[in-house]
Chains A and B, each alone.
Chain A
Amino acid sequence: MNMQINQPVRLTAAETALVEAFAAQVGELPGNGAVTGTRDRLLDDLKRSGLPTRRIESWHYTDLKNLLRSVPERVVGGVSVDPIAPLVEGAKVLSIVQGVADNRATIDGVELSVFRDQLADGSAVAGLAAFDKDDAIARINGSFVRDGFALSVPADVAVEQPIELQAVHGAGQVHTRFPAVFGARSKATIIERHCAVTEDAALVSSISDLTLQDGAEITWIILQTQGADDTHLGQIRISLGTDSKLRLFIVNAGGKLVRQELRVEVQGEGSEFTLRAVNLLGGDTHTDVTMVLGHNVPHTSSTEIIRNVLFDKASGVFQGMIKVAPDAQKTDAKMACNTLLMSDDADFSVKPELEIFADDVICGHGATVSDIDRNHLFYLMARGVPENRARAMLVNAFVAEIVEELEEEKLVEALEGVISDWLEKHA
């Protein structure tokens, strides 16, 4: 059918750098025989098909092959990066510095291990596999991952203080994993934080794998504040059990090239999935949030609200696919994507998709793109607020509205602080 299919792919500079980086680390990457075998296969797949281009549907708006111009070399030793203060005062910090997890960390009531141990004993091997041939993030991460934290909250345990998974790094490459199992009726708030502390380019890939057992109620926050030259490839995999509730909150406020993938499987009746995402995009950057959400059983609900603010020449993408299985009756799913374009040179693409095979469901999606409301601007100015300040207040309000849904005061305050700091720098 296609003559090109048998021709070898000509590798780009970035692809070549990945292949070479892998070769340089052979024998050094943690893992038993099974893990090493899986790594080899993943890298081989990457080498054979290359990074995805716009011809791959799920990467149509983020042509990774063209956008990823180069890959920084791995920095070995001599990196002076220190952990930073937690986002929320009192949070228990699990620190990952330059991709290496602190194995002395403990949290009362939480079973904790470092991911490198799971690689070494081979228990991590099943999770390394890619979903499909287009799953470039799993290929890269599975090939190179060195560490992270595996956490498990036993049944009926409510973890009082938020847990912060704090991945800080300087230049180079960082590949991390965070498998997390939340036992029946457990409760916890987790902050997954990715933060560059120097300005030099880094390539970061990170995969979180969340399992919520029956009745678990979890808040998971991803705060991405990478540097201006960084590439961040994130993936979060979610499985929701009966009557479980997950509130997932994503803030993208950094990075040059960012892709955040969400693969959500709603597996238990009575479960609820909530996604709120704030994308603050400026400069000459590209950020992509791609979600595939499966409602697989009856009586489940989900809501997603994505708010985007774009300045300068930034571009952004939200792809949201909701699949409702044939027997997933009474599914209630609502998705909204609202964009504030503050520059004529910025653009945002939205692709909502509904695949519904059940007949008794409520499914809806909506998208808006706007400038600041003139009536709002006039009202603030008529009270003496100068135009620039009034505009900043209104942009802030546009995203603050969904941050406030989190309700925990300290968390709301901390995230609003991150947002207003970003706006002060970019607006």
Chain B
Amino acid sequence: MRIDDRLIHGQVVAVWVKHLRTDRIVIVDDGVAKDPFMQEVLRLAAPPGITVDVCSIQEGIATLGEEAPQRDRTMVLLRSPQAARQLFDGGVRFTHLNVGGLGAGPGRKLVFKNISMSDEEKEILKSLVRDGVRITLQTVPGEQCVDFSSLVK
């Protein structure tokens, strides 16, 4: 399970997918679920041999919730901490969440390398930690990996 507002991109395709031997990527995002053009682009951009499923958060809760215990070859990509919270509340009990990239913008503060967050997002992630989710910040395997709870007090 990874939060990355760029969804599928170089790090995901060139590094993560090979590292984790992923065979399926599930993108849970309401915006993309409504946009057939982006769905097509994301499907076509995935490396050969990897299926890409796109669903809205509601659909995600339904499908991912049933799959527990999670299949380890599936990578779930989300765009924001809010989406992670919604999935969790809907009954998708993931135990580990990787934050790989969150862009900067007004009202967002740099937390770690290329990861910026608003105060609201920080609070959401903190609440997930309280619910027993291990949250790590790491862009690619082999790079420095830090625990969210050690970074934000």
Q: Do A and B bind each other?
A: no
